[in-house]
Amino acid sequence: MTVPHHRGLRHLALRVIDLPRSRRFYEELLDMQVVWEPDPENVYFSSGVDNLALHQISKTELDSYDPSKTQLLDHMGVILDSPYTVDQMYQAILPKIASLGGRITKEPKQHRDGSYSFYFADPDGNQIQALYEPTVSKLRIGLSNED
């Protein structure tokens, strides 16, 4: 099975030390617009062509946080056209991911905001989300309206 074509790395999730401070930074400096705020520990933004998630580090983790030893990147995501193409990608990479040094970390799942995804890790443990996101997935960057 061939891996379906994705629409690029247009989703990024960052773990943050101070969510209100980070929120102000992305809203005021980069003019990002909030598209979803499911709870006080998470906020999702878009510039219109992408999706940025900010996740507050838990109090327990924050107490022992050492920036010299911990990375704040939570995961990156490749955008796919539909839930169906997410499932196609999952089925296509399943037989070969281990031989390439990676692994599936979360099975396909429907999310509360209408998105659909699964997660996998590269050989170094970096998390990648194969994601259908209702707003961003519909965009046709660099294509004419007829495509």
pTM, entire model: 0.74
Q: For residue 19, count CB atoms less than 10 angstroms from its CB and return exposed for 0-12, middle for 13-18, buried for 19 or more.
A: middle
Query: pLDDT for 19-72, tens place per residue?
Result: 999 999 888 877 889 999 999 999 999 988 889 999 999 988 888 888 777 777
Residue 58 domain flag: yes
Residue 36 domain flag: yes
Residue 117 domain flag: yes
Residue 147 domain flag: no
Radius of gyration of the chain (CA): 16
Residue 16 belongs to domain spanning: 9-138
